[in-house]
Amino acid sequence: MSNLYVTFGKKIDTYTFVLPLKSKYYDLTNKIKNINDIRNNFDNVAVENNNMYFNVLRDNYIKQILENNLFGVRPPLVDNKNIIVEFSSPNIAKPFHIGHLRSTIIGNCIANLNSFLQNEVTKINYLGDWGTQFGYVYIGMKMKNIDNIEMYTDPIKTLYTSYVDANKLAESNPNIHEHAKEIFRQLEFEDNEVYKNWEKIKQFTVLELEKTYKRLSVIFDQYEWESMYTAKKVNKIINKMEEMQLLKLDNNNRKAIAVSEEKNVPIMKSDGTSLYISRDIAAAIDRFERHKFDTMYYIVENGQTDHFNNLIQILHKLNLSWADRLKHVKFGRVHGMSTRKGTAVFLEDILNKAKEIMKQRQLEAKSKSVLSVIINRT
């Protein structure tokens, strides 16, 4: 490869290759008799001054490689299934971290495999935008006087810094936690200014996230929110559980459901606000009503295994015949990152850093290679 030079035109979709016909490793001078063969695969092929020149049209070339590789591989003839893949699912106002990156890549592969098998696939990104932590974000924003959301140029990081600042403050001031809970309570009941601002924050964050997904060529069919399942929605399900006599009050005055003799899972706090699990129960029921899925995959790290086991068990308790259609696809937890302490790494920064390092290496290398073209595209 050391003698293969690549240049690329202004239009980055076309790469021009220059291949010397002779080097100390090989001699193609007599082999290039019929350049028509080569013409079938490449564009603008020419042999001049002991060099062969040709263009590669990126999209055509990739298509050809993929189609050739697929030759002979056909999906088995099975009944088409209706599949939901929920993946990525970062929390808004917090950084998209490496754990979410893993979920994004694995989830996208699972979705692609299912599409290849001709299943009906819906890709859902379920954004975490609910819970007491958002009370903290609000307090942090007020501390810094960040009122005009329209002004944000970097919403995710701004919101994240607010969250970290409020947490720092809470270390020395115990009232902050109560205050954050109160703000979230107001959000749950959708009745004020705070809720209106929340809608704006969500919009900004999606725009920002989409930029990152674009770099990874990942496209979602639906963005859904934890805030779609507010206390009101969850209440209907809680009433049903009461009717079925599944609930009791735990030591903290939370409503809890017994999933086994030893295990109670709290699903509503004493102040009437919802919990992560209650929102997931409501979301699963809602999605089943909308999609009648055969399987719903949740691509989420190992650390949430108990959560998903509880979810499936609770759906069984509610006599929902489809409870076992939920599958938790796990992957190893990424250690050493804490959003609360502010040590999480942003995906955007990781991609930028990787790009920078690769570029640097390319510049240091003696000759340019195909890699440099790829790097310049990301």
Q: Retrieve residue 132's tokens.
A: 């007491």
- Among the options 81, 94, 181, 232, which is catalytic? 94
Please count the residues of this chain forming the interface with ligand ARG, following the rule CB under 6 A.
9
Q: Output the six-digit token pair for 150.
A: 């329209």
Stretch that binds ligand ARG, among 36-44, 82-90, 147-155, 317-325 (CB under 6 A): 82-90
Nearer to ligand ARG, 52 or 296 (CB): 296
Q: Is 165 in the site for ligand ARG (CB under 6 A)?
A: no
5-11 long-range contacts (CB < 8 A, ≥24 apart) are 5/367, 5/368, 6/368, 6/369, 6/370, 6/372, 6/373, 7/368, 8/373, 8/376
How near is the Cβ of 223 to ligand ARG at its closest, in Å? 13
Q: Which stretch binds ligand ARG (CB under 6 A): 19-27, 33-41, 83-91, 348-356?
A: 83-91
Residue 163 binds ligand ARG (CB under 6 A): no
DSSP 140-200: HHHHTT---GGG-SSHHHHHHHHHHHHHHHHHH-THHHHHHHHHHHHHHTT-SHHHHHHHH
Kindly state whether residue 225 participates in binding ligand ARG, applying the rule CB under 6 A.
no
CB 154 within 8 A of CB 346: no
| d(C-alpha 88, C-alpha 305), whole Å | 16
Give the binding range for ligand ARG (CB under 6 A) out of 86-94, 140-148, 186-194, 328-336: 86-94
Binding mask 39-78 for ligand ARG (x = CB under 6 A): ----------------------------------------
Q: Judged by CB under 6 A, which of 300, 312, 315, 326 binds ligand ARG?
A: 300
**CA separation for the pair 255, 101 (Å, rounded):** 34
In contact, 133 and 141? CB cutoff 8 Å: no
CA-atom Rg of the chain in angstroms: 27
The minimum distance between CB 90 and ligand ARG, in angstroms, equals: 6
CB of 99 to ligand ARG, least distance (A): 7
Residues linked to residue 250 through DSSP beta bridges, in sequence order: none
Closest approach, Cβ 56 to ligand ARG, in A, equals: 40
Contact between 298 and ligand ARG (CB under 6 A)?
A: yes
For residue 90, what is the DSSP state?
P
Half-sphere exposure of 86 (CA within 13 A, CB side): 24
Exactly one of 22, 24, 97, 316 is catalytic; name it: 97
CA–CA separation, 10 and 29 (whole Å): 31
Helical residues (DSSP H) of the chain, grouped into ranges: 35-41, 58-70, 98-116, 133-143, 155-172, 175-188, 193-215, 231-243, 276-291, 305-317, 347-364, 370-377
Q: Is 135 in the site for ligand ARG (CB under 6 A)?
A: no
Q: Is 94 one of the annotated active-site residues of the chain?
A: yes
Question: Which is closer to ligand ARG, CB of 8 or CB of 297?
Answer: 297
Question: What's the closest the beta carbon of residue 284 comes to ligand ARG, in angstroms?
Answer: 8
Listed ranges 84-92, 144-152, 320-328, 348-356: which one lies at the site for ligand ARG (CB under 6 A): 84-92
Least gap, CB of 89 to ligand ARG (angstroms): 4
Q: How far apart are CA 228 and CA 102, in angstroms?
A: 25
Q: Is 280 in the site for ligand ARG (CB under 6 A)?
A: yes
Residue 126 in the binding site for ligand ARG (CB under 6 A): yes
Residue 128 binding ligand ARG, by CB under 6 A:
yes
Position with the least CB separation from ligand ARG: 128
| 329 or 351: CB nearest ligand ARG | 329
Residues with Cβ within 8 Å of residue 97, at least 6 apart in sequence: 90, 334, 337, 339, 344, 345, 346, 347
Instruction: Determine the Cα–Cα distance for residues 284 and 299; give it in Å rounded to an integer.
Output: 14
Provide the binding-site residues for ligand ARG, judged by CB under 6 A: 86, 89-91, 126, 128, 280, 298, 300
Q: Which residues are catalytic?
A: 94, 97, 100
